[in-house]
Amino acid sequence: MLCLFSEESRAATLSGSFQSIPAGSNVNLSAIGKLDWVHWGLYTDTSLNRKGSVSPQISSFTLVGDSNSFLAAYQYADNFNGYSWYDGAPVASVTNTTTGVWAYSFPVAIGAGFQITVPADTTERTLQVFVGAFSAAGRLEAVLSDGSAPSFTSSPVATVNNLNNGPSGVFALDYAAGSAGQTLTVTWTLATARGAGGNVSLQAAALTAANADNPPFVVVTNPTNNAAFPEPATLVLHAAAQDLDGTVTNFALFANANKLGETAGSSFSFNWANVPRGVYTVRASATDNAGVTSSSRPVKIFVYGTQGTQTNSVEPAPASVDLTAEGSADWTHWGLVSNTSFDHKRLVQQKISNFAATDTNAVQRYADNYTAFSWSDGSPTTDATATTTGVFITGATNGFQLTAPADTEPRQLRLYVGGYGVQAEFQAFLSDLSAPPYTDTTVSNVYDSTNVVYTINYSAASSGQQLIVNYHPDNLFDLAYGNVTLQAATLQGGPSALLPIYIIEPFHMGNAFSLSFMTQSNHNYLVQYVDALTSSNWITATNVSGTGAKVTVTNETTNAEERYYRVKTE
């Protein structure tokens, strides 16, 4: 008999092996996950960290089990071995964390657990899956989507089989599909429950291949992120790189888009002299002997002048705020009725901007804020009493940006913000960088909400500037629900706001017409008239300097049958 096999059929393979992990040992995910790695449960059940220098390949988990049972995943922190990494995202590095997630089924049901997927084609890869069990035995199954190789099913007796919590184990799956564009699906489930709390756990996974190259790891070690220096600055930049499976052949440092220098070594120091005022993003790149290049996380630095002023503070948010009383120059509130609600002070020039979202996630409204806000001079909503509304946005790269005017006049901006399951970064700086910028990470809570008010007292070196505020996550503890919140802002100081003008006590006698109005100090008032409303050529009858008192103006040269008057403020 003659048997013919195609290249695709010969390439297909799927086999698995199991090895216990000694208690107290530490698994380096960065080293073994050359193509990709994932760790679950660092902070909460939704925490997912993965290799940051590659395109994601290992999926997050989905829960599987009886649809008639309650299924949930929970984080735990007493695993018998630890996991470490240095090239992760969103958390860059971790040393020996004993965290993971476990699958809860009520009632306890055989077949409840986790499922993950990885891409498959004719290239042979190895996927390691790190699992455990509590008062239970587990079973792992792996299946190729094209069925080009027999599936793999483990024996629960020979794998993780703990009477209580105990040592974990790792499955190594060697696989290749019969064609491109396929998927390997891996399911880790409860095979035997030894009590009412029996469950299986999942900690990490790592993907590699025989000829895979682990990208070099590179980091800027000096200066630190958000460091600030007075002008003209002389900065010492330092970065380092390592390559676990080769050598670093090229190293370069960049500031914004400009290359500062390069070397052939695995570390680089550069003296950057006479750096002018500005905001700079510094990064390093490294190339290994296989020609693979990776970049460091960017480091933001500020170089500032000293002609302006900026002092900053943060404190817990109060239980209630009267925005009308506090915001003498302007105030804003977000989220009263919907996620786009934007209320602000009426009858003044709007000074505090509406926010701009810094990424693509949707801004959402909420109504259980700690601080209750009230106002009586608002637009479009005239008044509100003790509203606990605000807006929030989820996601590691999503936040808010807003501005307030700045010039040589002193002002005070107060901003009410918060966050859930997040360490947030608040940053405020003048557009002309005429004073040191401010960065703060007070809002930080893994499992609950934090609410604060930031107070910025500032003045710029020149007119026409802005105070720029950015508020976004620095570290997201809850990947699914972690968020930053924004509720309100108030502004005091600066030039006095122009008040509306009301003509009072109008009086006409013969050819004379008189009118009165209230003035403000440091403002000029033009009393103007036209003989027909269809005319746009308003004629100035007189110019009055404001004193803060009422003034009366009489126009004694009126011969027209009709005349229309207005008062214009300068």
Residue pLDDT tens, the chain, 570 long? 344 444 444 579 999 999 999 999 999 999 999 999 999 999 999 999 999 988 999 999 999 988 777 899 999 999 999 999 999 999 999 999 999 999 988 887 889 999 999 999 999 999 999 999 998 889 999 999 999 999 999 987 556 666 667 789 999 999 999 999 999 999 999 998 887 788 999 999 999 999 899 999 999 999 999 999 999 999 999 999 988 889 999 999 999 989 999 998 888 899 999 999 999 999 999 999 999 999 999 999 999 999 999 999 999 999 999 999 999 999 999 999 999 999 999 988 899 999 999 999 999 999 999 999 999 999 999 999 999 999 999 998 999 999 999 999 999 999 999 999 999 999 999 999 999 999 999 999 988 899 999 999 999 999 999 999 999 999 998 888 999 999 999 999 987 667 788 888 888 877 788 899 988 877 889 999 888 887 788 999 899 988 888 899 988 765 666 788 899 887
- Residue 288 belongs to domain spanning: 217-304
Shared domain for 157 and 13, answered yes or no, is: yes
DSSP label of 346:
T
Asked whether residue 499 is assigned to any structural domain, the reply reads: no
CATH number of the structural domain spanning residue 470: 2.60.120
Nearest residue to 79 (alpha-carbon basis) of 138, 23, 135, 161: 23
DSSP label of 58:
S
- Identify the domain boundary among 153, 179, 209: 209
Shared domain for 299 and 378, answered yes or no, is: no
Is there a contact between 550 and 567 (Cβ–Cβ < 8 Å)?
no
- Identify the domain boundary among 162, 190, 209: 209
Asked whether residue 86 is assigned to any structural domain, the reply reads: yes
Helix-strand-coil percent breakdown of the chain, rounded to 5? 5, 55, 40
Shared domain for 15 and 108, answered yes or no, is: yes
Shared domain for 338 and 436, answered yes or no, is: yes
Shared domain for 179 and 76, answered yes or no, is: yes
Is there a contact between 424 and 472 (Cβ–Cβ < 8 Å)?
yes
CATH number of the structural domain spanning residue 553: 2.60.40
Shared domain for 314 and 457, answered yes or no, is: yes
Shared domain for 336 and 456, answered yes or no, is: yes
Shared domain for 269 and 328, answered yes or no, is: no
Asked whether residue 168 is assigned to any structural domain, the reply reads: yes
Shared domain for 159 and 193, answered yes or no, is: yes
Asked whether residue 386 is assigned to any structural domain, the reply reads: yes
What pLDDT shows up at residue 157?
Answer: 55
393 three-state secondary structure: strand
- Identify the domain boundary among 493, 521, 536: 493
Number of helices and strands in the chain (H, E): 3, 48
359-379 in b/e form (b: 16+ CB < 10 A) is eeeebebbeebbbbbbbebbe
Nearest residue to 491 (alpha-carbon basis) of 400, 392, 416: 416
Is there a contact between 25 and 191 (Cβ–Cβ < 8 Å)?
no
Distance between CA atoms of residues 372 and 382, nearest Å: 17
Asked whether residue 2 is assigned to any structural domain, the reply reads: no
The distance from CA 390 to its chain's CA centroid, rounded to whole angstroms, is 17
Shared domain for 446 and 489, answered yes or no, is: yes
CATH number of the structural domain spanning residue 255: 2.60.40.10
Count how many residues are written for the chain. 570
Distance between CA atoms of residues 219 and 253, nearest Å: 11
Q: How many domains does the chain have?
A: 4
Shared domain for 324 and 462, answered yes or no, is: yes
Asked whether residue 295 is assigned to any structural domain, the reply reads: yes
What pLDDT shows up at residue 283?
Answer: 95
Shared domain for 173 and 98, answered yes or no, is: yes
Q: What secondary structure does DSSP assign to 298-333, as a single string?
A: PEEEEEE-SSSEEEEEEEEPPSEEEHHHH-SSEEEE
